[in-house]
């Protein structure tokens, strides 16, 4: 029933283009290179910005499918309806949320030839223990949650032709928890097309001046969707601690999202208005990153974050939480600083170390630039993805 040159992506719509959406753009381009018609099934009220960007590369088709919010039986039925209308040769699940599993089973029922899953998020080995401790019970007991999740995952993921992970730790966790075939699972870290070319002194000064950052002030930058997992409330608290110590600094957070009002209230409550600012969506994020003295990523979970890689490519020294795939990119005190998540005090101390030591900032920034050029370029990422698609998925 499948057309030989149709690819269907089950994905998220998003007005705030984040890592998974940027990846979607890269992967779509690879399918377009092979002459595929590219179709996207998503909930259109979630946002169209990413698809508007992809449409500049070639013709695309959009299908309404609210898989994230439909009841499982209805999601299964609706998924089959969309698959039968598109008749794809390849179906790509650009998410590893549990809610996507009904459409995965629908694709198997429809006998789609090739089924590919992209795992963007992080799962740690050992995060699904067989036994757990329960209050009032003297011995560990079986975890019903872990048992059901392992069973469902083991059955579901066996329906896939291949799985791409963006960090090694999550691949290891999936192999252990769901008993998958290593051959069908590969790790391909995200890559950046950042040139690594620093701004000219004149351009850097102009960018900082546009944000009202004086020559005597330090500029801190965070970037990402304004959601709890990004940990920006910790960044605001840490910046406040340094301001109270008398550090001349201004901190900026570029991005949009559900926490905008809450973060604005936090800034006002800590009397940081004018010292900490939310910038909203910025089309000049590269210039902002290159102009910053320190790039901060206090996330609670990350797979292989593009914004971190881009900051490193510009030679901007980075401080990031030691979570998910970040330690596979940042080596502490070699090409950046790592701090525990949910620990604004440790983040503040790390910021203080960098702000007091320009030589350390310079060394970490240069090592970061070399790391990205050697291991995390967009070209390397696309080359490895092409190879996997050709050899394992066989598009």
DSSP string, 275-317: TEEEEES-TTHHHHHHH-SEEEE--S--SS-HHHHHHHHTT--
* β partners of residue 319: 296, 337
Q: What is the mean pLDDT of residues 197-203?
A: 87
Q: What whole-number distance in Å separates Cα of residue 91 and Cα of residue 7?
A: 6
DSSP per residue, 229-242: GG-HHHHHHHHHHH
For 259-283, give one letter per residue: b (16+ CB within 10 A) or e. beeebbebbeebebeebbbbbeeee
Strand pairing of 318-321 and 337-339?
A: parallel
CA dihedral 91, 96, 100, 106 (to 10 degrees): 40
Residue 195, pLDDT score:
63
**Among the listed residues 386, 348, 390, 306, the one whose alpha carbon sits nearest the alpha carbon of residue 27:** 386
pLDDT digits (tens, 9 = 90+) for 100-144: 999 999 999 999 999 999 999 899 888 999 999 888 888 999 999
Tell me what percent of the residues of the chain surpass a pLDDT of 70. Answer: 98
Average pLDDT over residues 257-286: 95
Query: Residue 250 pLDDT more than 60?
Result: yes
Q: Give the whole-angstrom CA distance, residue 174 versus residue 125.
A: 8
Burial label for 35, CB within 10 Å (0-12, 13-18, 19+), is exposed
- Chain centroid to CA 27: 15
- DSSP state letter for 125: T
In this predicted structure, the answer to whether residue 276 has a pLDDT above a threshold of 90 is yes
Q: How far apart are CA 248 and CA 215, in angstroms?
A: 10
For residue 2, pLDDT over 60 is answered with: no
Q: Per mean pLDDT, which range of 119-128, 311-320, 343-352 is the poorest? A: 119-128
Contacts of 30 (CB under 8 A, 6+ apart): 382, 385, 386, 389
How much is the pLDDT for 197? 74
Q: What are 84-104's pLDDT values in tens digits? A: 999 999 999 999 999 999 999
- Separation between Cα atoms, residue 226 and residue 261, nearest integer Å: 10
Q: What is the pLDDT of residue 13?
A: 81
Lowest mean pLDDT, pick from 43-47, 287-291, 329-333, 391-395: 43-47
Among 140, 77, 129, 131, CA closest to 105 = 77
Average pLDDT on 327-350 reads 98
Could you write out the DSSP letters of every residue in 32-71? HHTT-EEEEEE-GGG--HHHHHHHTTS-EEEEE--TTTS-
Contacts with 322 (C-beta within 8 Å, 6 or more apart), sequence order: 332, 338, 339, 340, 341
pLDDT tier at 167, thresholds 50, 70, 90: very high
Mean pLDDT of the chain: 94
User: Does position 245 have pLDDT exceeding 60, yes or no?
Assistant: yes
- Mean pLDDT for 275-279 is 98
For 158, other C-beta atoms within 10 Å of its C-beta total: 13
For residue 2, the surrounding DSSP H or E stretch is none
- pLDDT attached to residue 1: 45
* pLDDT band at 3; cut points 50, 70, 90: low
> Taking residues 28-49, what's their average pLDDT?
94
């Amino acid at each position: 029933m499948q057309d030989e040159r149709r690819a269907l992506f089950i994905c998220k719509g998003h007005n705030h283009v984040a890592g998974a959406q940027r990846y979607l753009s890269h992967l779509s381009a690879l399918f377009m290179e092979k002459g595929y018609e590219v179709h996207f099934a998503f909930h259109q009220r979630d946002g169209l910005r990413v698809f508007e960007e992809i449409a500049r590369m070639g013709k695309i088709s959009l299908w309404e499918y609210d898989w994230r919010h439909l009841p499982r039986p209805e999601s299964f039925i609706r998924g089959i309806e969309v698959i039968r209308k598109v008749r794809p040769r390849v179906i790509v699940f650009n998410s590893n949320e549990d809610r996507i599993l009904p459409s995965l089973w629908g694709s198997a029922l429809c006998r789609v030839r090739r089924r590919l899953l992209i795992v963007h998020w992080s799962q740690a080995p050992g995060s699904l223990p067989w036994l757990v401790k329960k209050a009032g019970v003297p011995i560990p007991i079986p975890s019903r949650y872990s048992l059901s999740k392992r069973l469902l995952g083991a059955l579901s993921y066996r329906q896939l032709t291949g799985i791409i992970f963006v960090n090694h730790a999550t691949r290891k966790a999936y192999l252990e928890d769901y008993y998958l075939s290593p051959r069908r699972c590969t790790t391909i870290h995200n890559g950046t097309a950042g040139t690594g070319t620093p701004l000219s002194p004149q351009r850097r000064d102009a960018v900082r001046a546009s944000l009202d950052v004086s020559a005597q002030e330090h500029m801190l930058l965070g970037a990402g969707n304004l959601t709890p997992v990004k940990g920006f409330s910790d960044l605001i608290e840490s910046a406040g601690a340094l301001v109270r110590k008398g550090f001349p600094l201004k901190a900026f957070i570029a991005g949009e999202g559900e926490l905008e009002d809450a973060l604005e209230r936090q800034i006002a409550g800590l009397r940081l208005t004018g010292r900490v600012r939310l910038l909203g969506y910025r089309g000049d994020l590269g210039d902002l990153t290159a102009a910053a003295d320190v790039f901060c990523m206090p996330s609670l979970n990350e797979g292989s974050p593009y914004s971190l890689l881009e900051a490193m490519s510009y030679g901007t020294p980075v401080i990031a939480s030691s979570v998910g795939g970040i330690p596979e990119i940042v080596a502490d005190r070699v090409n950046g600083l790592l701090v525990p998540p949910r620990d604004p005090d440790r983040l503040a101390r790390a910021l203080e170390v960098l702000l007091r030591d320009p030589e350390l900032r310079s060394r970490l920034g240069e090592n970061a630039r070399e790391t990205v050029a050697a291991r995390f370029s967009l070209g390397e990422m696309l080359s490895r993805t092409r190879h996997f698609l050709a050899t394992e998925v066989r598009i």
